Structures are given as C-alpha cells and as structure tokens.
Structure 1
C-alpha cells in the first residue's frame, strides 16, 4: 500500500507495471475503490505503467467533510500525478472517474495524452436525483440504497445474491464513508462538463455497457457526439461497470485504442 498527502488530503494509490512504459491512470466510480480495475489492470500491466488510486472519500483515501466539488477530485488527481513526477498519461475513468478525467484534461491539457471515458457523460443525473440520494445516505446510510444502486451497476444475470462477486461488491459499496459518497454525489450534481467535452482535442475512446442503468448507451453516445473524432464502443452483456463484468473486452478495447493512437 502507498499513500501520499496531496492537495490537503491523503490518497491511497498503487503503481504497477514497468516504469519505462506509457502511463495509464485509472479512476474509479462512485461507491467503489480501485480494486474494480484489477482484472483489466492484470491484462495491461505487462506493457504499461499503471497508476490506480482511491479518490477522495473512497477506499483507503481520506474523507474530508462533505460536500465536494468536481474540482476537488480533479485537483486531487493532478496533485497525485505531480507527486509521482508523471508528466503525461492516458486517463481511464469510469462513471464519475470519467468526469474526473475530462476535468483533468480541461485543467491540465498537457498532462493528458488520451482519454478512455467508460460509462460516463458530460453531465449525469439531475439535482433532484442527487439531492434525494444525499439525503438518504446521510439519514439512513448507504445500505438503505445499496440494492437499487447495484441493480444499475450490473446486469440481471450478475446481480444475484448467489453470485459471491455480487455480494462482495455490495460490501465494497456499503463500506464507503458517508462523507465520501454523499460528498461525491454533490460533485456530480453540480458538474456540467459540456464545454470541456467539446474542447477536447486528444484521442478519446467512449465505452458504454449495453445494460447500464446509470449512464445508458444513449447518454454515452451523446458524450461521444460532443468530442471531435471520439470512438464509441458498446460492450454487450455489461452494466455500469464493464471493468468488472467484461474485463477482457474492456482491456481489449483499451489496448486497440491505444495502438491506434500510437501509444504503447
């Protein structure tokens, strides 16, 4: 385990793969930690330098008091990469991690070599939806909404109590801090990256799960339409987290995209 105090907060991170290879940075979704990327990372780490980290208020990273702004998460990641002396990287983000990736590209364009935006958008949800979720988490705990969230994360075939992986991810979700979860809900509520998406000039791969209940394919398609030259891929038999349900397909798309972009 490795920790760094950056941007006024302690972040948990891990480095994998050869030091001399191109850098891939993985940013995780709301209510998860960087272990959601483990199977994808295992398929890429021989050929790339990987940075995995837990964003503010998630996993083993410090949870500052809520609410958060998207800029908090963006500045955390920029500061972590500066701490690690990483001058350029491909940022791969799922859900809110994809919004963080877009934010980093807007704030520090020279830092970003390419983007992989998985199951994300330029704007996700409504203020009413996020306020309702914040209220539920603060008054009743994450467990009170966990069943509904997991149904949006996973396909019906995966989302069953007899599936031990499903039970494990339920535990991952419910063990996140209330400040981290509700704080990031506020960041999502207030973020609109439409202009930032339109301004992107680096190579971009957008990925959608065909059964995603949180950021459906049409929403990811809308994001891709804002970005000049963006490539859109839809993964079959996947919900909101293809990195968990379809890691081989996810890693294969990332690898082919990077090859096409001349990275690696």
Structure 2
C-alpha cells in the first residue's frame, strides 16, 4: 500500500492510497466521515489483478477542506483530478454509501473515463418522505455541539449488531474526529444525488445492497437499479458497510461482474 497527496484543480490538497498493482484500476470511494484506508480488506479480497485507488474526500482523512463548498460535483472533480495526476486514463468506479453517490456524479460528468460502475449500499435519489427524514437528520447534526451524541446511532446504522469490536472502535474514533460541519456538509451534498442521471453512453453497472441494511434498504437499492437500465442488481448478506468490514462475498460478485466486462468492451474507448 502506498500513500501520497496531490493538489486538486482548485489547489486543495487531496490524500490518496493505492493498494496493489494489478492491470485493472478500481477507484474506490468511501462514505462520509471515514476515509480510503477502509478499503484495505476489499482490495485484498479482490486479488492481485486489481490496482485499487482510494482518495480521501476533501475534509476527510488526510485531505484538506478546501475553499469550495462540499458538493457531489466537486468531489467528482477531485476524482478526475486524481486520475490526471496518476496518469489513469480509465477506471472502474466503485462507491459505498456516499461514495456511491460521488461515483454517480463521476460517471455523469466523465462517462468516457468510466469502464464500469459498482454502486453499493447507496441511493440514486430521495423520495419525499426519505428527503424529509434526511433534512431532519441534517438539522440535528448542524445544531449539535459535536458528534458525541450522534456516534451511537450512526454506528448502529452502519454496522447493525454484529460488528467486530475493532471496526466499531475505529469508526467511533473517525466519527469523533469529524466536525459536525463537515459531517453536515456531506449529508447536504448527498441530497443532490438525484440530479445525476445515468452516463451517456451507458456503462456496465452493478448495484449491490446488503440484506440487513437499514440506511439503504432493499427498496432503495431496487429503485437505484431501475435508474440504471441494464444494470445488475445483487443482494449480499450484511448491514450497511458490509463491503468494508466483511467483503469476501461482495468481492466475488465484483470480480465476476468485471470479468464479464473487460476493458476492451468499452463502447467509446478513450
């Protein structure tokens, strides 16, 4: 694993990690308040055929906050800036939760550079009742003095009741280090996901949900799959962050999907 930092197009310093050096590049995008280091287990589970590139979103991990508001479009631009910095022409884009929303923004803005999409434990828009709930959650975060009271409910949503103690401790520490402003800005950015439609031309898309996920329940995963015509919809065991904490089954699904869609299958190679 290697770690480095670079300057995005607006001058903000963005941290990133790379796991492996295989021929197929997967850009893996994390959820709010965590960082790219959480993809270590998934990278190992994917195997030696992959090079997994994991940026830290601005305001997260080792990345600076930057002068611009945190939006899905800005985070997507950071991903493209990272590709330019690393000399990556095209990549699979994989995102979990908020990362899946950023992945949709990347695909919509740079479809010719996306070999395939893997949208995991995420959504493609907010129905009216879900949006109202998200706005209430956002207001609660903005009014909180710190993340203290918000940590237990967030951990429950992410991990359910079967998480390993070290994962809980690690996530608890990450949440405690996150300012309520950054957490709220990320939540607010997520509300904008509905404006990003499927890329044109279409790219192969895998949509994966956990069968015990209360943050992105099966109905939300079904709706996301419907948003991407021709996508494959898969259910795997586990709560919201199954792809990070217990990725074996998920990695097998990803490998099988990508094996069916080699780089040469791109309709408009760059």
Global fold match (TM > 0.5): yes
Contact 1:59/1:176 (CA < 8 Å) preserved in 2? no
Find the counterpart in structure 2 of residue 122 from structure 1. 124
Q: How does 1:1-264 map to 2 (within 5 A)?
A: 1-8=3-10, 9-18=12-21, 21-64=23-66, 67-124=69-126, 125-126=130-131, 129-130=134-135, 132-137=137-142, 139-158=144-163, 163-193=165-195, 196-197=197-198, 201-236=202-237, 238-263=238-263
- How far apart in 2 are the matches of 1:215 and 1:65? 31
TM normalised by structure 1 equals: 0.89
- How far apart in 2 are the matches of 1:134 and 1:191? 19
2:188 is paired with a residue of what secondary structure? helix
- How far apart in 1 are the matches of 2:133 and 2:167? 31
Cα pair distance change 1:134/1:77, threshold 3 Å: farther
Contact 1:63/1:177 (CA < 8 Å) preserved in 2? no
Residue 96 of structure 1, CA deviation: 1.1
Contact 1:43/1:248 (CA < 8 Å) preserved in 2? yes
2:13 is paired with a residue of what secondary structure? strand
- How far apart in 1 are the matches of 2:154 and 2:125? 18
Contact 2:76/2:106 (CA < 8 Å) preserved in 1? yes
Consecutive unaligned residues of structure 2, counting only runs of 5 or more, are 265-270
User: Cα RMSD (Å) of the superposition?
Assistant: 2.2
Residue 46 of structure 1, CA deviation: 1.1
Contact 1:205/1:230 (CA < 8 Å) preserved in 2? yes
Kindly provide the CA deviation profile for residues 54-91 of structure 1, in whole angstroms up to 9, marking residues without a partner as x: 11111111123684221111111111111111110000
